[in-house]
A and B are shown apart, each in its own frame.
Chain A
Amino acid sequence: MYSPAARAAGAPTKSSLPMFVQHPLFRPLAALAILLLIDLIMIPGFFHLEIKDGHLYGSLIDIANRAAPLILAAIGMTLVIATRGIDISVGATVAISGTVAAMLIGGTMVMNNGTPEYVANTPMWMALAAAMGAALLCGAWNGALVAGLGLQPIVATLILMVAGRGLAQLLTDGQIITVYYQPFFFFGSGYLFGLPFSLFIVAAVFIVTALLLRKTALGLFIQSVGINPVAARLAGLKTASLIFFVYVFCAACAGVAGLMITSNIKSADANNAGLLLELDAILAVTLGGTSLAGGKFSLAGSVIGALIIQTLTYTIYSLGLPPEVNMVVKSVVVFVICVSQSAEFKTMWRRAFPGARGGKTQ
């Protein structure tokens, strides 16, 4: 039985723990640390980093690089979830933005005096703008359905989830479109100052979002709408515009992720690009400590959540476990982390072990 009063009453039991344990990011960080510890013991050279051709190489870099699209999706998803919403069309938006970009760029290799040169069908900046435009349209569609027509978020975004991928496949005639245009590959596999360029994109999106939340009243407004939409409206908030905005924002993040993925695989695969990315994003948000009931959220938590998921995948593959095991192990880890975060479990734990306060799984 959830009640704020009961929660407030629960708080003092925790006060005996050190400050850092009480921090909302403690659990996700601890989970990540445990995973990394396992890697340290089980995988030789896991933390080894080396510089090759001026680029930094190593497992850690690889994980961060591969997690980039998921982190982007998780950032967008965090804001949607904070307003009590959910967006299950992220994967479809990824496919649409990637397909639009790949189709417009396309690219052909032209032999010029014996040296190959790459020519794009459409100037790259226009292709990128069109791809992002398509993603924003997707978000506006979701936002209009949820905020304008008052559809339930899961149903509203289900429409695009089904239709979006179909639309992308129609655009490509069901074919995989390969891109032959070197500059475009920079997004997904380029390097800047020795680090993958994707990390810079992720950092930029994260910083801009965090600033937007901190320096404007957006964070306060999103939480208010998520916790008590009626009160928020009566206090004079434009609740509908806010909700519309978070879906557009989420789609924009998915759009960037789509460009990244397309650039990385050098082609637009309308069937598989970003497939089930929304579920991983929701998972990342949950692992980061943001409740699906909306309200209080943690952007940093979602980033850590995404890193947990990617590290887990990497660990399983590196340990040489068969791919079939991947799903099972992943689900077990997710189960453990989610259960340890549930209020009911914490109460049960405290009752079972009155000495061990706080309910942390040991």
Chain B
Amino acid sequence: MTIISSAPAPVLELRGISKAFTGVQALNAVSLNLYPGEVHTLMGQNGAGKSTLIKVLTGVYTPDAGQIVLAGQSIQPQSTLDAQNHGISTVYQEVNLCPNLSVAENIFIGRYPRKLGRIDWSGMAKQATELLERMQIRIDVTLPLAHYPLAIQQMVAISRSLLVSAKVLILDEPTSSLDEKEVDLLFSVLRGLREQGMAILFVTHFLDQTYAISDRITVMRNGEREGEYLAADLSRVELVNKMVGAPAAANTGAPSAGAATQSGVDRAAAAGEGRFKAFLRAVGLGRKGALTPMDLEIREGELLGLAGLLGSGRTEAARLLFGADKADSGTITIDGKEQTFATPRDAIAAGIGFCSEDRKLEGAVLDLSVRENLILALQARSGMMRAIPLKRQQQLAEEYVKALGIKTASIETPIGSLSGGNQQKVLLARWLVTDPKLLILDEPTRGIDVRAKQEIMDYVSALCKKGMSILFISSELPEVLRVSDRIVVMRDRKAGGEYPRGALDETTVLHVIAAGDQHV
């Protein structure tokens, strides 16, 4: 962080960028300076304008006003490729590479090295290996990209920017799908790039990560730049305060430590005394290559947390419970009756709902309206021939838009034009209208801002109090520990242990995950 004090000329300057959509001012005269050899974090709630700013910078949108100055020259990127040619590379949350091509091909795509008019495959593999080694990654570059975990795929995406000798690297929420180890790996790569003088613009929702890597922080709120700070000068309390734009004394370490938690304690006590009846009991539930047979009991009105790292079997267990994948062993008993779930339809009929972790691929039907997305599961359950009257659909949609505070121009707006947090709320509402007895939430708060996160979790806690069972899956340990009545820790595709509320703290969970303290 000594680099900052020397304060060289910024490599990239955004001056007074404005952009409006259908009367909504997404960006209002936003300025931003990126300095070489610095990690600059862009923070802000959903809808603050971060994504729009990135899209202006990478040529996806043309700004209505303002200037982009790169190394002293004004540029107007027309497309991502154009931006790349100017030396601005972007790595998105969802890696957009070709999974079926090899790692080397992905790195060199569009600029294959040639020899005597033909593609120089061996030279390409050699260069790709070297490029990745510069980032301390040693893998076989001739294997298909899909062979490697998401973190490596992201490194591959980053290495592409090294190849085009980018001056500016933009990372748009790169850590959302990574587990902690992978985040560490990513950060060490970023630090390496910083040493080499790269200017890095980093967008994230995670406070911890912000402080782990940033030299400088720009906070955005409601399409405006709230301010630019040195990370060292800005405390967490202040940062959250600036993001939400409200006095945020209670909003820092453990948000929502109020009423919900208190009632949670009571419920946990009740659960301990066995006052809760089992709603669902799975015995020996498993699937080859996905989940080692495990037992699981979910009680009525209970919030059961599934903790564990990415790939620990959390999602796999949820998918088996919902019939999204077919179990090849074990039984599921609901209210004393044995059930087989061949499809999600069967599970829905038994009163189960499932919010997938992959909002875009498995949740939202992007071109359809908020209303249509919201009633889809209910309509599917009542059947094709019994169409829900339009009036009733509108009524339901309006009701939930209001109850969950969904920010949308109208209920007929396509869901794709909503921000991530609001899309997530619509998908939550999709299941709530079916009035499920058990709702499985797989990473319901991933990639959405602090406030939406808190709103969703508060709402879920309230539902639980009314008797709905919740299976809550999240990578964020503090969140799981805070809201759950009972916690099952998963590791290596099997259950690692079951704990009542209060019996665990973060260190113990990490210990269970690492050492495998099995007693189930």
Q: Which residues of A are interface residues toward B (Cβ below 8 A)? A: 1, 3-9, 11-12, 15, 215-218, 220-221, 223-224, 227-228, 230-238, 295-296
A4, A232, A237: which contacts B416 (Cβ < 8 A)? A4
B361, B380, B430: which contacts A221 (Cβ < 8 A)? B380
The answer to whether residues A217 and B414 also contact, given A232-B365, A234-B356 and a CB cut-off of 8 A, is no
Task: Verify B417–A15 contact, CB threshold 8 A.
Answer: no
New contact pairs (11) apart from A5-B417, A234-B354, CB-CB < 8 Å: A1-B80, A4-B417, A8-B417, A217-B379, A223-B365, A223-B367, A227-B365, A230-B361, A231-B362, A235-B344, A235-B430
Task: Verify A236–B21 contact, CB threshold 8 A.
Answer: no
The answer to whether residues A228 and B364 also contact, given A216-B387, A234-B354 and a CB cut-off of 8 A, is yes
**B126 interface residue (CB < 8 Å to A):** no
- Complex: A98 Cα to B385 Cα, angstroms: 32
B346-384 at interface with A (beta carbon < 8 Å): 348, 354, 356, 361-368, 372, 376-377, 379-381, 383-384
A3, A224, A234: which contacts B368 (Cβ < 8 A)? A224
Which of A1, A6, A7, A237 has most chain B Cβ within 10 Å?
Answer: A237
Contact pattern, B 283-305, Cβ under 8 Å of A = 1, otherwise 0: 00000000000000000000000
- Complex: A12 Cα to B322 Cα, angstroms: 40
Task: Verify B22–A220 contact, CB threshold 8 A.
Answer: no
Minimum CB distance partner of B376 in chain A: A235
> Which B residues are in CB contact (< 8 Å) with A223?
365, 367-368, 372
Task: Verify B367–A296 contact, CB threshold 8 A.
Answer: yes
**B61 interface residue (CB < 8 Å to A):** yes
- Complex: A11 Cα to B381 Cα, angstroms: 34
> Which B residues are in CB contact (< 8 Å) with A227?
365-368
Task: Verify B365–A224 contact, CB threshold 8 A.
Answer: yes
> Which A residues are in CB contact (< 8 Å) with B379?
217, 220-221
Minimum CB distance partner of A6 in chain B: B60
- Complex: A234 Cα to B319 Cα, angstroms: 10
Chain B contact residue count (CB 8 A cutoff): 42
The answer to whether residues A12 and B345 also contact, given A4-B367, A218-B384, A220-B376 and a CB cut-off of 8 A, is no
Q: Which residues of B are interface residues toward A (Cβ below 8 A)? A: 20-23, 51, 55, 60-61, 79-80, 322, 324, 343-345, 348, 354, 356, 361-368, 372, 376-377, 379-381, 383-388, 414, 416-417, 430
A12, A215, A235: which contacts B377 (Cβ < 8 A)? A235
- Complex: A233 Cα to B319 Cα, angstroms: 12
Task: Verify A231–B79 contact, CB threshold 8 A.
Answer: no
Task: Verify A233–B384 contact, CB threshold 8 A.
Answer: no
- Complex: A15 Cα to B409 Cα, angstroms: 15
For chain B, what secondary structure do more than half of its interface residues adopt (helix, strand, loop), or is it mixed? mixed
- Complex: A9 Cα to B380 Cα, angstroms: 31
The answer to whether residues A295 and B367 also contact, given A224-B376, A234-B324, A236-B345 and a CB cut-off of 8 A, is yes
Name the distance in Å between B396's Cβ and chain A's nearest Cβ: 14
Minimum CB distance partner of B381 in chain A: A236
Name the distance in Å between B207's Cβ and chain A's nearest Cβ: 26
Task: Verify B384–A217 contact, CB threshold 8 A.
Answer: yes
Task: Verify A9–B362 contact, CB threshold 8 A.
Answer: no
> Which B residues are in CB contact (< 8 Å) with A15?
22
Task: Verify A234–B344 contact, CB threshold 8 A.
Answer: yes
> Which B residues are in CB contact (< 8 Å) with A295?
367
Minimum CB distance partner of B79 in chain A: A1
The answer to whether residues A237 and B368 also contact, given A9-B21, A12-B22, A231-B363 and a CB cut-off of 8 A, is no
Minimum CB distance partner of A11 in chain B: B22
> Which B residues are in CB contact (< 8 Å) with A220?
368, 372, 376, 379
> Which A residues are in CB contact (< 8 Å) with B51?
5
- Complex: A218 Cα to B384 Cα, angstroms: 6
> Which A residues are in CB contact (< 8 Å) with B21?
8-9, 11-12
- Complex: A11 Cα to B385 Cα, angstroms: 34
> Which A residues are in CB contact (< 8 Å) with B20?
12
> Which B residues are in CB contact (< 8 Å) with A216?
384-385, 387
- Complex: A7 Cα to B413 Cα, angstroms: 12
Task: Verify B387–A235 contact, CB threshold 8 A.
Answer: no
Task: Verify A221–B384 contact, CB threshold 8 A.
Answer: yes
- Complex: A217 Cα to B390 Cα, angstroms: 11
Name the distance in Å between A73's Cβ and chain B's nearest Cβ: 24
Which of B51, B79, B363 has most chain A Cβ within 10 Å?
Answer: B363
Closest 9 CB pairs of A and B: A4-B416, A8-B417, A236-B380, A236-B348, A12-B22, A235-B377, A235-B376, A4-B366, A228-B365
> Which A residues are in CB contact (< 8 Å) with B361?
228, 230-231
- Complex: A217 Cα to B384 Cα, angstroms: 5
Name the distance in Å between A344's Cβ and chain B's nearest Cβ: 11
- Complex: A209 Cα to B387 Cα, angstroms: 15
> Which B residues are in CB contact (< 8 Å) with A12?
20-23
- Complex: A236 Cα to B381 Cα, angstroms: 7
> Which B residues are in CB contact (< 8 Å) with A5?
51, 55, 416-417
Which of A3, A4, A15 has most chain B Cβ within 10 Å?
Answer: A4
- Complex: A221 Cα to B379 Cα, angstroms: 9
> Which A residues are in CB contact (< 8 Å) with B387?
215-217
Name the distance in Å between B356's Cβ and chain A's nearest Cβ: 6
Minimum CB distance partner of B359 in chain A: A231
> Which B residues are in CB contact (< 8 Å) with A1?
60, 79-80
> Which B residues are in CB contact (< 8 Å) with A237?
345, 376, 380
Name the distance in Å between A128's Cβ and chain B's nearest Cβ: 27
Task: Verify B380–A235 contact, CB threshold 8 A.
Answer: yes
- Complex: A360 Cα to B55 Cα, angstroms: 26
- Complex: A232 Cα to B356 Cα, angstroms: 12
- Complex: A268 Cα to B152 Cα, angstroms: 62
Name the distance in Å between B94's Cβ and chain A's nearest Cβ: 11
> Which A residues are in CB contact (< 8 Å) with B384?
216-218, 221
- Complex: A11 Cα to B344 Cα, angstroms: 35
Task: Verify A9–B61 contact, CB threshold 8 A.
Answer: yes
Minimum CB distance partner of B393 in chain A: A220
- Complex: A217 Cα to B379 Cα, angstroms: 7
- Complex: A215 Cα to B384 Cα, angstroms: 10
> Which A residues are in CB contact (< 8 Å) with B55?
5
Name the distance in Å between A229's Cβ and chain B's nearest Cβ: 10
Minimum CB distance partner of B380 in chain A: A236
- Complex: A236 Cα to B387 Cα, angstroms: 15
Name the distance in Å between A352's Cβ and chain B's nearest Cβ: 13
B60, B368, B377, B414: which contacts A236 (Cβ < 8 A)? B377
- Complex: A12 Cα to B386 Cα, angstroms: 36
Minimum CB distance partner of B409 in chain A: A8
- Complex: A235 Cα to B381 Cα, angstroms: 9
- Complex: A7 Cα to B22 Cα, angstroms: 12
- Complex: A236 Cα to B344 Cα, angstroms: 6
> Which A residues are in CB contact (< 8 Å) with B365?
223-224, 227-228, 231-232
Minimum CB distance partner of B366 in chain A: A4
- Complex: A320 Cα to B224 Cα, angstroms: 65
> Which A residues are in CB contact (< 8 Å) with B354?
234
What are 30 A-B pairs with beta-carbon distances under 8 A?
Answer: A4-B367, A4-B417, A5-B416, A8-B414, A8-B416, A8-B417, A9-B61, A11-B22, A15-B22, A217-B383, A217-B386, A217-B388, A221-B384, A224-B365, A224-B368, A228-B364, A228-B366, A230-B361, A231-B364, A231-B365, A232-B365, A232-B376, A234-B356, A235-B344, A235-B377, A236-B348, A236-B380, A236-B381, A237-B345, A295-B367
Name the distance in Å between B504's Cβ and chain A's nearest Cβ: 31
- Complex: A114 Cα to B104 Cα, angstroms: 87
Name the distance in Å between B232's Cβ and chain A's nearest Cβ: 35
Minimum CB distance partner of B319 in chain A: A234
Minimum CB distance partner of B434 in chain A: A236
- Complex: A188 Cα to B385 Cα, angstroms: 33
